[in-house]
Structure 1
Amino acid sequence: MKYLTRLCYNTDGWKKPSGVAQAREVKGSYTRQFGFGHEEWMFRDEWVVDGWRYAFVQGVNKSRKRLLKNAQPFDLHLFSIEPKSKRRYVGEIKEVECLSDQQAQGTLELFRGNGWFQTMCEEIAELGHDPENLGHEKYAPFVFNIRFRLDNVKLYDTDEYSKAGDPIIERCKRYQLYSVVVQGDQTSGIRRKPAGKDFITIPKIKSTSKTVTYQRTFEHARMQEKLLQHLMGVYPHEMVRAEREYIDIAVETEDSLILYEIKSDILPRSVLRHSIGQLLEYAYHAQARKKDIKLVAVGRQPLEVEDAEYLDLLRDKFILPLSYLCVPLD
């Protein structure tokens, strides 16, 4: 699903509060009352964990229950309202995931541990506002409500404004999710429109990609801990090790070596996409393995039928000793 949503006004690339959002809001809004928006750290690139960026989007906040029930990634197209009511297209993010209560709390604890949350509070205070309002119970009970991979982010030039006749000028004012069709995008045709939904057509814009460095996520750590305990029970007399030579978990038996690569993406196909290359490198690149190798991609959701067929094809066509294991996050 593709959505368009509004970000609060920011002049620092949504890396920190810029102090300009308050004047652009209507009376009674969160940003008008407290002087900053939760979205103002959205693209703080150095705050990346295992390839994931954690952030907050008010439009998602209002649709959170529905998104969690659907339990599928979605694409976000972003815009902001600047002085003189100009609509600026900010960028797009593919395969965004909505955070559960547990994930949101775990992310906050991670940010506290890394000192990032303290930095957020200090930057609010520097603008003369009260950081106690970060995570305000009425407006934003969770400081974070989404996560996305920064290599799925495309940001537009700063002069990408809506043109005359663009429907977002009259129809898109609130912080909510608007269902959209992107011009020239063959994957978002009329057949995908849900009943009762009014889609907005937006232009396809040339963009640039982001690159980042990674740490481990809260979700990854939980899955790794569960899997490690499980494997130690299955192989009580074998060598079970975590985080050796960049491998998430390795089990060494008398005649085989089993390598596990964990990815916490919702979609199993994304797990396979991101893990297969790493598993092959760990198993075969510049290595003289004397034991039989088994490769296991680990995700948090069971394989769909098409994913299982794809995995079977890889095993048969390329004779890969590859399998998939589901380790639920809960």
Structure 2
Amino acid sequence: MFYITRICHNTANWEHPTGSAAEGEKSFFSANGYGHEEWLFRAEWGIGGWQYGFLQGINDKSRRHSLLDRGVHVADVVLYEIPGKNTRRYVARIRHVEILTDEQAADALAEYKKRGWYEKMLGEIDAVDGNKDAFGHAVWAPHVLNIRFRMEDVEWYPPDTFAQQGDPVLQYRRYTFIQRDTDTRFPETINRRRTRAGQLTPPVQDAHFRGGGASRECSPEHGKIQKALHEELKREYPGAEIVFERNFVDATVRTDTEIILYEIKSDLSTRKVLRLALGQLLEYAYYWEAEPERNIRLVAVGRTELSTDDARYLRYLTDKFKLPFEYRHVKMLSTDSRIAGADS
């Protein structure tokens, strides 16, 4: 799905509020001195590789639930702003934006509060003389965070990319989430893509850091998938050794004849799950000495079913390159009851 939506004007690349509402505008921004989307690109506030944020276009609960109920869980989104009267400036295009469920939104906000980011946001509202009593107020914004994406999926427009005469975006004014059939009429973007012992039970479901050559952090969704996977593996392999986070592998099963390595990715795009998991699994299995007496299986774990194209791609990898590579669909406990599958 492809959508376009407006975000509030900001002069600091949407990293913090700047108190720069368009003159004469009547909106939440002009009434309260800030918009909820002003932290959208605060890169240091990532959780497990995810950037959480807010889009006013799906702020309305019924609109967001309508999208989710229609199977719109992932969308490509073009953002524009209105920096002055009768002007529309294209800001960025974000691929694979995930629309959060109520539970995901609550989990993400709880993590923001635990890390002190929520208090920081309130302080930055004060700094621009904004009305922080309206921040996250149920009447104005049921959820402070309602989307997530990966920063590498952000493509910026040059700063002088304004809508030209005849561009339909010049007709748009309200903060709505407008579906477009094609993205061919939009301007071109500039890409600016920016050993340890295991345990017998999954780690806590909160976001957590994992050590190694580089610090890796896991989102709340990741922990919930890991817990659900644990329950399934206990039933499937009652006599096997099941270990989590040994040598940074999400889950490892050891039987008399095989070693099965599981790498979990919480993306709704199964194509992205395959892409992200494969390299890690190959390194875990073969970079160091393998155990020749046991067969090795590599399993990418995601929370949606493979699409037809992704299944074809996986078959090609296994047939052409003889990789012992598989995909496993595991539903995230409780949250994924609304999600049967998602576009890749």
How far the C-alpha of 1:265 sits from its partner, in A, is 1.5
Q: In terms of mean alpha carbon deviation, does 214-223 or 140-149 score higher?
A: 214-223
How far the C-alpha of 1:92 sits from its partner, in A, is 0.2
The Cα offsets for residues 130-169 of structure 1, whole Å up to 9 and x where unpaired, read as: 3332212112101111111111111122221122332222
Q: In terms of mean alpha carbon deviation, does 228-237 or 86-95 score higher?
A: 228-237
User: Structure 1 173/325 Cα, relative in aligned 2: closer, same or farther at 3 Å?
Assistant: same
The Cα offsets for residues 216-247 of structure 1, whole Å up to 9 and x where unpaired, read as: 11111111122124324443443222122221
How far the C-alpha of 1:48 sits from its partner, in A, is 1.2
Work out which of the residue numbers 317, 320, 323 in structure 2 matches 1:317: 320
- Aligned pairs (5 A) from 1:87-236: 87-169=88-170, 171-180=171-180, 185=184, 202-211=185-194, 215-236=217-238
How far the C-alpha of 1:178 sits from its partner, in A, is 2.1
CA distance in 2, matches of 1:150, 1:162: 24
Q: Which residue of 2 aligns with 1:80?
A: 81
How far the C-alpha of 1:268 sits from its partner, in A, is 2.1
Cα-Cα RMSD: 2.0
How far the C-alpha of 1:53 sits from its partner, in A, is 0.8
How far the C-alpha of 1:260 sits from its partner, in A, is 0.4
Q: Which residue of 1 aligns with 2:31?
A: 33
Work out which of the residue numbers 245, 249, 252 in structure 1 matches 2:251: 249
Q: What TM-score results when the alignment is normalised by the length of structure 1?
A: 0.87
CA distance in 1, matches of 2:217, 2:249: 14
Q: Which residue of 2 aligns with 1:18?
A: 18
CA distance in 1, matches of 2:5, 2:133: 26
CA distance in 1, matches of 2:240, 2:52: 37
| 8 A Cα contact 1:156 1:205, kept in partner | yes
User: Structure 1 203/309 Cα, relative in aligned 2: closer, same or farther at 3 Å?
Assistant: closer
Q: In terms of mean alpha carbon deviation, does 127-136 or 149-158 score higher?
A: 127-136
The Cα offsets for residues 21-56 of structure 1, whole Å up to 9 and x where unpaired, read as: 2x54633x2212221101000000111122211111
Work out which of the residue numbers 259, 262, 267 in structure 1 matches 2:261: 259
SS in 1 for 2:114: helix
CA distance in 1, matches of 2:219, 2:24: 34
CA distance in 2, matches of 1:99, 1:214: 22
**1:61 equivalent in alignment to 2:68:** no
SS in 1 for 2:315: helix
CA distance in 1, matches of 2:55, 2:105: 13
How far the C-alpha of 1:175 sits from its partner, in A, is 0.3
Q: Give the unaligned 5+ runs of structure 2.
A: 195-214, 335-344
**1:293 equivalent in alignment to 2:261:** no
| 8 A Cα contact 1:7 1:175, kept in partner | yes
SS in 1 for 2:188: coil
Q: What TM-score results when the alignment is normalised by the length of structure 2?
A: 0.84
| 8 A Cα contact 1:48 1:214, kept in partner | no
How far the C-alpha of 1:210 sits from its partner, in A, is 2.8
Q: Give the unaligned 5+ runs of structure 1.
A: 186-201
| 8 A Cα contact 1:182 1:204, kept in partner | no
The Cα offsets for residues 82-123 of structure 1, whole Å up to 9 and x where unpaired, read as: 123321110100111110011110111111122211211111
User: Structure 1 101/150 Cα, relative in aligned 2: closer, same or farther at 3 Å?
Assistant: same
SS in 2 for 1:174: coil
SS in 1 for 2:166: coil
CA distance in 2, matches of 1:228, 1:25: 56
Name the aligned partner's letter for residue 276 of structure 1. Answer: L
The Cα offsets for residues 163-195 of structure 1, whole Å up to 9 and x where unpaired, read as: 2332222x1111002223556x4xxxxxxxxxx
- Percent same amino acid among aligned pairs? 41
Number of aligned pairs?
Answer: 309
| 8 A Cα contact 1:25 1:31, kept in partner | no
Name the aligned partner's letter for residue 302 of structure 1. Answer: E
Work out which of the residue numbers 302, 305, 309 in structure 1 matches 2:305: 302
